[in-house]
Amino acid sequence: MADRDLLDRAFHRVLLTFIERGSAPHYTELARDFGLAPEAGRTLLHDLMAAGIPAWLHPSTELIASFAPFNNLPTHYCVSVDGERKWYAQCGFEAAAMCWIFPGKTVVVEAPCLDCGEPLRLTMRDGEVLAAEPETMVGYVSLPPKEWAQDLAFA
Amino acid sequence: MNLFRSEEHARNWQGYQEGAAAGLQPLSAIAAIWGADRYRERLNGHYVSSARDYLPQVAEITARVTGGNPFWKR
């Protein structure tokens, strides 16, 4: 297992890469950033994903599928920051945490309602809900939090 | 974990489970829980090392905004 300092730096690097380009880094990029051989970068990625964070790899690959609050595969939670649309939220609840990744900026989450397909639009900045359209918007999860870790992708 | 246009829409969704009705929360509760340090401190540079330290606060906020509902106990 990589030491905690390296895991901290790798975690930070993954988020910064998402912020910059809207997608996750490959483990070879992590390796290069930290002066490691590719195989050591691969091990670092696996250690990071096993560190108890809400993130997972795409099945049968070594590609980051999801890394909260981001998703590397498009979800129906499309995120725009100051008018630039290039990110996806891991889920509807993590969409509400996306504003902490972009401090001081206006973050807009747009999604279809899973019941009717009509649009939802959530605007936040620094934790404040600036607008919710419609104002009656709610969140729902069928799995209690103590069970989320057993199947993060389902939760 | 999804957002819906209203409580009625959430209850009408095919994935809604009556036995998990406590999983339905107003947007204000979702924003409060996902406003905890566990979520807001991700860019602090020592997040993995500190992650466990954030659990008591998010548990306290969750309990407060959900009325202590056992469904939300972490």
The rounded distance, in Å, linking the Cα atoms of A85 and A110 is 10
Q: Which residues of B make CB contacts under 8 Å with A?
A: 1-7, 9-10, 12-13, 15-17, 20, 23-31, 33-35, 39-43, 45-49, 51, 62, 71-74
- Residue-level pLDDT at A153: 72
Structure tokens at B53: 């330290």
A155 pLDDT above the threshold of 70: no
Give tens-digit pLDDT for A99-151: 999 999 999 999 999 999 999 999 999 999 999 999 999 999 999 988 887 77
Domain range summary for chain B, segments of one domain joined by +: 25-73
CA dihedral A58, A72, A93, A110 (to 10 degrees): -140
Give tens-digit pLDDT for A10-27: 999 999 999 999 999 999
A89 pLDDT above the threshold of 70: yes
Whole-model pTM? 0.94
* Strand order, beta sheet including A107-112: A84-88, A78-81, A107-112, A119-125, A128-133
Residues of B in Cβ contact (< 8 Å) with A127: 31, 35, 40
